[in-house]
Amino acid sequence: MMSTTEAAIQYEGLTAEALVDQIVREAAGAPICLTSSFQTEDMVALHMLRKRLPEVPVIFLETGYHFKEVIAYRDRMAAEWNLNLINALPQTTLEQHEKQFGLLYIVQPTQCCQIRKVEPLMRSLEPFDWWFTGLRREQSPTRASLRKVEDHKTPTGKMMKKVSVLADWTMDQVNEYAVAHGIPRLELYDRGYTSIGCEPCTAIPEAGADPRSGRWGGKKLECGIHTFSEKV
């Protein structure tokens, strides 16, 4: 049996499609999910995974603050691809949240993300052993050291494998795959958005800036869903 280090090296040498095949074989029926914000990276990773697992659960964080275009695209793709969609909801409605905290995304955006993104995600991941994402190293400095397969531990102590099949892809590669396979494009990209989250916390970045620099007014680069689970 290979050591964890040997396995990590092997994973890094695989193409995206080969890595999906490898993980599906290794999982051998263990529960797999994919988290998706319905940006192009996620749709490409999902396209690859669905070819092997047509009914793979797709977790979407329904924060209540999304662009209406994102919700419309999510619903369109869920219908066209017959997705096994899981809308992960916070413990409170948006009305309850704002009644208690006001516009928390302005005064304490990290706390807002914790309540409306991190906690619902960690709760939704509990049934799964393998977690696929569309993360890429090129997206931001916080993701530059991303490995294709990582061991993670959730706040409850749940151990799982996190798989980023597109870790070493460029955005050009992502777009080329999407065009080649006829994956519809979220219209917000055509307006200049490069990284799309909750509407109040997402802006069009300046020309040449980091793709995620338009998030949270440039004050941070991560909401916490990819940093709150413990990498081990």
Which residues are designated catalytic? 223
**CATH code of the domain containing 105:** 3.40.50.620
pLDDT at 6: 66
What HEC string does the chain produce? Answer: CCCHHHHHHHHHCCCHHHHHHHHHHHHCCCCEEEECCCCHHHHHHHHHHHHHCCCCEEEEECCCCECHHHHHHHHHHHHHCCCEEEEECCCCCHHHHHHHHCCHHHHCHHHHHHHHHHHHHHHHHCCCCEEEECCCHHHCHHHCCCCCEEEEECCCCCEEEEEECCCCCCHHHHHHHHHHCCCCCCHHHHHCCCCCCEHHHECCCCCCCCCCCCEHHHCCCCCCCCCCCEEC
pLDDT at 145: 80
pLDDT at 230: 45
pTM of the model as a whole: 0.87
Range of the domain at 59: 4-231
**Total domains, the chain:** 1
pLDDT at 224: 45
| Average pLDDT per consecutive 10 residues, the chain (232 residues; last block may be shorter) | 65 96 94 97 98 97 96 98 97 95 91 93 96 89 84 91 95 97 96 90 76 58 45 49
pLDDT at 228: 45
